[in-house]
Structure formats: C-alpha cells, structure tokens
Amino acid sequence: MTSYIHPPSEYADFIAHVERNRVTASEISPPSGRRSFIRLSTLRNYLTPKRIRRLLLCYFPTGTYWKAIYNGGYLIVFSILVRIAKVPFLPYFLSNRKLSDAYLPFSHHYDWPRPCHEFFYQFFCEQWQFCAQRFLSDCLFSLQIDERIILPIKSIGLLNKGTDFRVYKIELYDEYNSLTEGDEHGKPTTNIFALKTCNARGIEAYNVEVDAYRILSDQTDIRAHILHFYGSWSQCETYNMLFEYVSGGTLTQFMKNTKPPTQRELILQFWTSMLDVIKPLARIHALSVTDDGHRYLQGIHHDIKPDNILVDVTPNSSTYDVTFKLADLGLTEFEPMSDTDEATIARSNRGTQMFSAPECFIDEADTFLLHTPVNAKPSKDIWSLGCVFSIAAVWSVFGYEGILEYESRRAAETQRMPKLQDTSYRGCFHDTTTVLDVVLNTHRRVCTMRQSDDDLIQQVMGLTSDMLSHASLRPSAVGVYKRSRSILERTSTPSFLRPDGTNSIIERRPPPQIPPEYFPLAPNENTPQMRMYQSESTTGRSLSSDVEIMIGDLSLRDSDARTHSVPARPHINVAGDPEHSRTRAISKDDVRQDRSSNPQNPWVVIPKCEDLNVDFSGTR
C-alpha cells in the first residue's frame, strides 16, 4: 500500500493534546512502576467531526469515514492508527464490527484482515494506554484482568492492613465507573470505594469471602445492614474485592470519637440502629436459596466484633442516626442443611478469641486440639454479638473511658485464670465455661447508672445477658430479632410522649416514690425492714458507684444507707427485660421471713443485698 504522511500541523496538535492530557493511575501493584493512560473523554473533547475530517483528508480526498468514526464506535481505534501512522488501513477496521472500540483490547490477529497482520504487534503495544479497565455493575465476577490493563484509580489511601490483606480507600475516574446508578446528569452518585486486596497466602479467605457475599447478594431486605459488595478480580497475583466505602469507620472508632447520647430520643436512635445488626446475622444463620432447586443453607460469621461492624453516617442528621453494617465475611462459610436439622461447621476456634464463646475455648497449651477441627454452631455468633452489645451498653452510659475500664477489668479477671493467663483469650467475656462475674456486675452497674429517662438500656441488658448464657439456652438470631423488636416497640409507644403530644426529648423523671399500696401497714418495730448498703463512693459515673435496688418499675438508689420497707415477692430477677428476664426462687440465703408477730405478715428481711440490682416482680 502507498505510503502516506500526516498533515504536519493536525498530526502534531493531536499528539501534543494526547500527551498533555495523560493521567497517572494510582495502582496497587503495577507490573512496572506507575503508568499513565488516555481517558476516552480526552479523545471525545478533541476529536470533533471537523478535526477528524482534517486528519482524514490527506489519505481520503473526500474526508469520508468521519461519521463511522465519530458515531460508530471507532474513536479509539482511529486514534491508535493515527499514532502508529496506519490510517490508510482504516477501511478494513470499519468493515468489521469485531475490530471496533467495543472489542478492545485485541489479544490476537485472527480476526484481522491479512494486510493488517504486519502491524498487529505495533497496534497491540499501543492500545493499552487507551484501554483502562471499565468498572461495570454486575460484571466484576472473579475476573482475571491482564496485567497490561491499567486500573483507572484516581487516588488511593491505606485504611487498614493485616497479615495477608490490605484495605484501601480509592477514588475512580468517573467515566470508568458504572457501578452505581447515575444522577439526573448521568454522573455516578459516588466514585469513592473500599478496595480489599490480598496476596496468594490469603487466597483461601479471599475465596470464602467472595463466595459468602455472592450467596448473600440477592438478599435485598438486609442490604442496608451488610457491607455492599461490587465484585472481585485478580491481576498480577493480587486478589481484589471492591466494596462500598463507609465513611463512619468501625464501631470501635465511633465509640472512641463520639460522646454517648444523653437525650432519650437519641438513645433510642442509637439502639434502634445497633439492634439491626442482628438482621444480616439471622440471614447468615438460615438462608433459603433457589439457584438449583429449593434448599437451605446455614452459615456462621465466626468473627463478630466491633471492628467488623462499620458505621454509615447519614448526611445532615444527628450523630446517632447511623446505620451499622456487618462486614468482613472472610471466615463465613455456608453448609447445606435439611428443613429440620441444624448444620454444623468445623473449625470453631476461628475468629478473635476475645469475643469467642466459651464452648469454643481451646487450651492453647494443647497442641493436639489446636490443630483439630471442632464443630461449631451459630450460637457462637450470638455470644459474640452479645459481647458487642455489652460493650455498646457500657459506652452508652460511661463513654469510651468506661469501655477501657471494662476491658481492663476483664483482662485482670482472665489473667488470674491459669488456662487464660497470657493467651489470646485475655480480656474475653468467659472463664472457659461461663460468663465472667465482672461482666454481670458491669451489666448491673449499667442499669444502675443509666440516664433517668433511659427506659431502654435495662431491657437491652436483659437480652444481652441471655445472649451470654450457656449455648443451649441462648436465643437464636431470629429470637434475638423478635425480642429486639419488642423492646423497641415498647420503648417507642406513645405513652412515652409528652401530654401535649409532642415527642422527642422527655423531661427527666422525678425520683421514684414507693406507691401507697406497697405499705398496707405502717412500719414499726414488728415490721421487718429491707436494708440497702452503700458501696464505695465515687464521683460521677463510673463502674463502681452507689447501689440501686429495682422494685418493679421503681428505681431506689441508696446513697446514705437509708432503710426501706418492701413487701415480699415470689421471685428475684436480674434487672433486664421485664418480659424475658430469667428468674429464680428466693432462697433462705436471700431473705429471712419473720412471722413471729403476725403469721400473715408478707414482709421479709434482707439483711444485705450483694447484687447491685434486684427486681422484685410478680404479685404479692
């Protein structure tokens, strides 16, 4: 074919424009240093119909083909041919749709006309700078991306790192981002995402996490409460997962940087969001799928902890109007289950030991058990989430300093236990078999020192205590969900509103008084008394302060060793959810009944109350 020469000015202007408008990609692990590429918008802005015709005139006297280039999807192919001085071969490309921009990059010359074979390698090397990867919705399904393809990442910053993984905050160039629905102008609603990468050592966890998110991807009703997964790909022996970016950080960071709510409306906002974390967990524990016939799957998250709960902040709203999202499914495996039988999943010792359940405890000195898979059940996740609720409750009353003190007390108690001493279980919530005393005492202290208008925390503590019970007694995830809805419904009823019908911030209640019906007889020397004792006095809210006795819905705080008379009740409840608190019969160790003067006397003597909270419920 006859040799042609570019019009000097038009060719030079085009090359200069392209070089001037190159952008550098902020890639994680490029094959050979940082790479630059030419955006499609750069070509579209420069290559107007007029400029295309002027570039064509030297080769095609009528300036034809410009419409096919401009409107037919050949803008990139034409630009490459201009750069390698092969524009005369353009008609061969225009006559074959498989040689249009939509099929770039070309990997072989099988579809190329024979006259074009001679410059295929030249075209092949030039094309990569025009072919940055496009991120399309639902198309990132474990792709294997050629190492020569440039990822159009505008900026990148490290968020977190572990032994085998890194998490980055990235920004994509908007013209390559089709992951989200466009706004009224067709622009992406966000170009900010979270990118999690790992090397070959983390491939097992990578595959588990990708599979778990794929399985849950169709569960639209929990989408707001689980980190959204856009897709995955591998390139240059690096494995990548792309997620939504959640601006509020982790629950740990939220509690560290945020003061606890002090108004009842805000307390309700926080716990409404916090309790919603059970929704994705319940779906992991029991999932119905119909991909290849109706079947049930059961999964276990294995690593519920504050660092794996992310905080999505709602713009222009209160600090506590947030959405908590369950994240990090790197240990979440699913197993088939029948309609009636519960599946079990091996390797119960996975996850963070501080939040592990007692039935999953393995003595770290026993190397045999450490390397022996042990079956686990979903109830281990319920324990872990109970630990999270326990920490959140401490924060809601005592702030972040209370969390630090709480952890310190747990660590001190576990350090005194030989099997837990100097192990990864330091600061856990159990003694290898049951919940720590310091945990239960802290729950009582939370109820004692709660806000006077906080009607919610006591019920949450009752639920949390049940979640931290023996595995056979713990509620299921669905059970936790139902109880949490019941708690929120009772707390949100109109009876809590002001008389004028306005809502929001309730005035603090006056100190509770014992109703007259509790005193059928005036106390005298023949009327046994209940005596409450003051613990070590402190100032302000702390985990060690005055005792408080709960009598029905009443709260009696004894700061000056006053004496109160109360009628006997059939049971004693640990302060908590009034409908679901576990009860035990009063024993002779709890009370001493005095009928010396009156056999019908219903009063009892409690010489000393060791528990910080006692709830007398039932009827006389």
Asked whether the beta carbons of 391 and 406 are under 8 A apart, the reply is yes
- Determine the Cα–Cα distance for residues 156 and 593; give it in Å rounded to an integer: 71
- Determine the Cα–Cα distance for residues 352 and 356; give it in Å rounded to an integer: 6
541 residue type, one letter: R
pLDDT of residue 31: 63
Here the tokens at position 356 are 């592990």
For residue range 303-334, what is the model confidence (pLDDT) as tens digits? 999 999 999 998 888 999 999 999 999 999 89
- Determine the Cα–Cα distance for residues 245 and 235; give it in Å rounded to an integer: 22
Which of 284-298, 401-415, 547-561, 578-592 has maximum average pLDDT? 401-415
Residue 505 lies in a domain: no
For residue range 60-114, what is the model confidence (pLDDT) as tens digits? 877 689 999 999 999 999 999 999 999 999 999 999 999 999 999 999 998 899 9
Lowest mean pLDDT across 44-58, 275-289, 518-532: 518-532
Are 96 and 144 members of one domain?
no
Are 194 and 289 members of one domain?
no
Query: Which residues, in sequence order, are bridge partners of residue 557?
Result: 548
Residue 179 lies in a domain: yes
Backbone φ/ψ region at 346: left (φ over 0), alpha (ψ -120 to 50), beta: beta
Average pLDDT over residues 574-599: 44
Asked whether the beta carbons of 299 and 335 are under 8 A apart, the reply is yes
For residue range 423-476, what is the model confidence (pLDDT) as tens digits? 999 999 999 999 999 999 999 999 999 988 888 999 999 999 999 999 999 999
For residue range 125-139, what is the model confidence (pLDDT) as tens digits? 999 999 999 999 888
Asked whether the beta carbons of 349 and 374 are under 8 A apart, the reply is yes
Cα torsion angle, 72, 75, 76, 81, sign: positive
Residue 348: band (very low, low, confident or very high) from pLDDT cuts 50, 70, 90: low
Least Cα distance to 451 among 270, 584, 257 occurs for 270
Are 283 and 392 members of one domain?
yes
Asked whether the beta carbons of 542 and 398 are under 8 A apart, the reply is yes
For residue range 464-486, what is the model confidence (pLDDT) as tens digits? 999 999 999 999 999 999 999 99
pTM listed for this prediction: 0.77
Residue 59 lies in a domain: yes
Are 289 and 413 members of one domain?
yes
Are 13 and 59 members of one domain?
yes
Residue 324 lies in a domain: no
| Residue 528 structural domain | 514-620
Three-class SS state of 108: coil
Are 125 and 159 members of one domain?
no
Residue 508 lies in a domain: no
State the CATH number of the domain containing residue 238. Answer: 3.30.200.20
Are 353 and 378 members of one domain?
yes
Under DSSP, the state recorded for 119 is G
Are 13 and 111 members of one domain?
yes
pLDDT of residue 619: 41
What H or E segment, with its residue span, contains residue 261?
Answer: none
Are 342 and 303 members of one domain?
yes
Average pLDDT over residues 284-298: 81
Residue 502 lies in a domain: no
Residue 504 lies in a domain: no
In SS3 terms, 499-545 reads as CCCCCCCCCCCCCCCCCHHHCCCCCCCCCCCEECCCCCCCCCCCCCC
Are 528 and 556 members of one domain?
yes
Q: Which of 244, 274, 297 is the last residue of a domain?
A: 244
Are 605 and 567 members of one domain?
yes
Are 430 and 571 members of one domain?
no
